[in-house]
Structure 1
Amino acid sequence: MWSLNGKVVVIAEKPKASYKIATALSPNIVRRVSYNIPYYLIRRGNVEIAIVSAAGHLFGLDSDEKGYPIFSYRWRPLYEIDDSAKHTYYYIKIIQEQCSRADYYVNACDYDIEGSVIGYLIIKFFGDVSRAFRAKFSSLTPMEIRESFNNLSRLDYEMIESGLCRHELDWVWGINISRALMDAIKLVTGKNVILSAGRVQTPTLKHVVENNIARNLYVPVPQYTISISIIKDNRVIQLEYCGEPYEKLSDAKKIVDELRDIRYLRVIDIKSESYSYRPPPPFNLGDLQSEGFRIYGFSPYKTQSIAEKLYLDAYISYPRTNSQKLPPTLNYRGILENLGRMPHYSNLVNQLLLETRGVLKPIEGAKEDPAHPAIYPTGVLPRGLSQDEWKIYDLIVRRFLATFSKNAIVNYTKVLFRADTSMGEILFEKNGLEIIDEGWMKYYYFMKPRETVIPRFNIGEKVYISKASIRRIYSRPCDKISKISLLKWMEDSNIGTESTRARIIELLFERNYLKSSGRGIEATDLGFGVIEVLDKFFPELTSVELTRFFEEKLEGIRKGLEKREVVVREARETISKLLEKFNHEKEIIGRLLGIRKGLIQTTNKCRLCNREVYSDNFCTYHYRAFIILKDSYNVWKERENLDWFEYLKKIINLRITGRWVREVAEYVMKRV
Structure 2
Amino acid sequence: KMRRKRMKKVEPDKIERGKGNYLLIITEKPQAAQKIAAALGSARKVTEGGASYFEVEREGKEILVGSAVGHLFNLEYKAGQKGWPIFEIEWRPSYERAASSFTKKYYNLLKKLARKAGEIIIATDYDVEGEVIGWNVLRFIFKRDNAKRMKYSTLTKPELLKAFENPMDELDWGQAYAGETRHILDWLYGINLSRALMAAIKTTGSFKILSIGRVQGPALKIIVDREHEISNFKSEPFWQVFAVVNNPKIYDSSWMPKISEDGKEISGFSFKHPKDIFDKKELEKFKDIKEGVAETKESEERVTPPVPFDLTTLQREAYRLHKIGPSQTLSVVQKLYLDGLISYPRTSSQKIPDAINPKSILKALEKNFPEAKEAKRAKPIEGKKSDPAHPSIYPTGEWADLKENEKKIYELVVKRFISVFSDDAVTLNKRVVITAKEHTKIKFTASGLKIKEKGWTKVYPAVLEEKDVPTLNGDVKIDEIKFVEKETQPPKRYTPTSLITILEKKNLGTKSTRSMIIDTLFNRGYLDGRSIQATPLGMKLIETLEQYSSIIIDENLTRQLEEKMEKLQGSKRKEDLEKQEEKIIKHAEKIIRDISKEFKEKEKDIGRGILAGIEGLREVQNEQNTLRKCPKCGKGDLRIIYSRKTRSQFVACSAYPDCKQTYNLPPNSYIKKSGKECKDCSYPLLMSLKKGKRPWEFCFNPLCEDNKKRREEWERKKGRKIGEKPVEEEDEGSKGNSNNKEGREESGGEKKGKVGSVGDEKGKVDGGEGKKGDGEEGKGGDSGGEKKVVEGEKEGK
TM-score by length of 2: 0.69
Q: Paired residue for 1:667?
A: none
Which deviates more from structure 2 when the two are superposed, residues 109-118 or residues 121-130? 121-130
Once residues 247 and 45 of structure 1 are traced to their aligned partners in structure 2, the CA distance between those partners, rounded to angstroms, is: 80
Which of 405, 412, 424 is the equivalent residue of 1:407?
Answer: 424
The secondary structure found in structure 2 opposite 1:406 is coil
Distance 1:232 1:574, change over 3 A: same
Match of 1:308 among 309, 334, 342: 334
Residue in 2 aligned with 1:320?
346
Instruction: Give the Cα–Cα distance (whole angstroms) in 1 for the partners of residues 122 and 271 of structure 2.
Output: 62
**Where do residues 487-502 of structure 1 align in structure 2 (5 Å cutoff)?**
487-502=500-515
1:616 corresponding residue in structure 2? none
Amino acid aligned to 1:508: L
Quick one: distance in 2 between partners of 1:169 and 1:34? 37
SS at match of 1:324: coil
In the alignment, structure 1 residue 550 sits paired with structure 2 residue 568: no
Tell me which residue corresponds to 2:278: 247
| Candidates 24, 29, 39, aligned match of 2:43 | 29
Give the structure 2 partner of residue 266 of structure 1. Answer: 292
Distance in 2 of aligned mates of 1:243 and 1:250: 18
Aligned AA (1:595): A
Distance 1:211 1:591 in 2: 24
Alignment partners' CA distance in 1, 2:448 and 2:58: 68
Cα deviation for residue 66 of structure 1 reads: 1.6
Map 1:22-421 to 2 at 5 A. Answer: 22-26=37-41, 28-44=42-58, 47-63=61-77, 64=79, 65-81=81-97, 83-130=98-145, 132-153=147-168, 154-189=170-205, 191-233=206-248, 235=253, 236=256, 237-249=268-280, 251-252=282-283, 254=284, 257-259=287-289, 262=290, 265-342=291-368, 345-346=369-370, 348-353=371-376, 356=377, 360-380=378-398, 382-421=399-438
**Structure 1 position 45, deviation (Å):** 6.0
The letter of the residue matching 2:158 is M
User: Structure 1 residue 131: deviation in Å?
Assistant: 5.2
**Alignment partner of 2:31: what SS?**
helix
CA distance in structure 2 between the partners assigned to 1:509 and 1:565 by the alignment: 34
| Conserved? CA contact 1:184–1:586, under 8 Å | yes
One of 469, 482, 485 as aligned partner of 2:482: 469
The alpha carbon displacement at 1:165 in A equals 0.4
Residues in 2 aligned to 1:463 and 1:80: alpha-carbon distance in whole angstroms: 83
Distance 1:599 1:228 in 2: 51
Deviations 1:182-204 (A, max 9, x none): 11221232x44321110111100
Aligned 8 A contact 2:34 2:54 in 1: yes
Aligned length: 577
CA distance in 1 between counterparts of 2:456 and 2:349 reads 20
SS of the equivalent of 1:598 reads helix
8 Å CA contact 2:307–2:383 kept in 1: the answer is: yes
Distance 2:385 2:507 in 1: 14
Whole-Å separation in 1 of the counterparts to 2:142 and 2:211: 35
Alignment partner of 1:104: what SS?
strand
Q: Deviations over 1:523-560 (max 9, x none)?
A: 11111122112222222221111001101111111112
1:256 Cα deviation (Å)?
6.4
Q: Which amino acid aligns with 1:535?
A: E
* 1:27-59, Cα deviation, whole Å (9 max, x unpaired): x21112334443211234663322222221121
- Aligned-partner Cα distance in 2 for 1:9–1:66: 42
Tell me, yes or no, if the aligned pair for 1:256 and 1:470 is still in contact at 8 Å.
Answer: no
**1:102–1:127: 8 Å Cα contact kept in structure 2?**
no
Correspondence for 1:537:
548
The match for 2:610 is 593
Structure 2 counterpart SS, 1:461: strand
Kept in 1, the 8 Å contact 2:138–2:145? The answer is no
Residue 248 of structure 1 deviates from its aligned partner by 4.2
Superposed displacement of residue 140, structure 1: 0.3
Measured against aligned partners, the alpha-carbon deviations of 1:161-210 in whole angstroms (never above 9, x if no partner) come to 11000000000011111111111221232x44321110111100100110
Contact in 2 for aligned 1:61/1:171 (Cα 8 Å): yes
Deviation at 1:484, TM superposition (A): 0.6
Secondary structure (helix, strand or coil) at the match of 1:41 reads: strand
| Separation in structure 1 between the aligned mates of residue 158 and residue 241 of structure 2, nearest angstrom | 64
- State how far apart, in whole Å, the 1-side matches of 2:286 and 2:484 are: 10
Change (3 A) 1:34 1:515: farther
- The change in CA–CA distance for 1:377 and 1:179 in structure 2 (over 3 A counts) is same
Give the 3 Å change call, closer, same or farther, for CA 397–60 of structure 1 in structure 2: same
Once the two structures are overlaid, the 10-residue window that deviates more, 449-458 or 478-487, is: 449-458
Aligned equivalent of 1:479: 492
| Equivalent of residue 568 in structure 1, options 567, 578, 585 | 585
- 2:91 alignment partner AA: W
CA contact (8 A) 1:595 1:601 kept: no
In the alignment, the residues of structure 1 paired with residue 146 and residue 389 of structure 2 have an alpha-carbon distance, to the nearest angstrom, of 23
Q: Is the 8 A contact 1:243 1:426 kept in 2?
A: no
The answer to whether the 8 A contact 1:6-1:46 is kept is no
Does the 8 A contact of 2:20 with 2:116 survive in 1?
no
The alpha carbon displacement at 1:246 in A equals 2.6
Report Cα offsets for 1:318-372 as digits up to 9, x if no partner: 0100111111222122111110121xx12x222224xx4xxx3212211110100
Q: Aligned residue for 2:35?
A: 20
Tell me which of 568, 580, 590 is aligned to 2:597.
580
Aligned residues: percent identity?
35
Mark the CA change 1:131 to 1:249 in structure 2 (over 3 Å): closer, same or farther: closer
Task: Give 1:51's aligned amino acid.
Answer: V
Question: What residue identity is the alignment partner of 1:433?
Answer: L
Report the residue type matching 2:161 in the other structure: R
1:112, 1:238 → 2: CA distance?
57
Distance across 1 between alignment mates of 2:594 and 2:276: 53
Task: Report deviation, 1:582.
Answer: 1.3
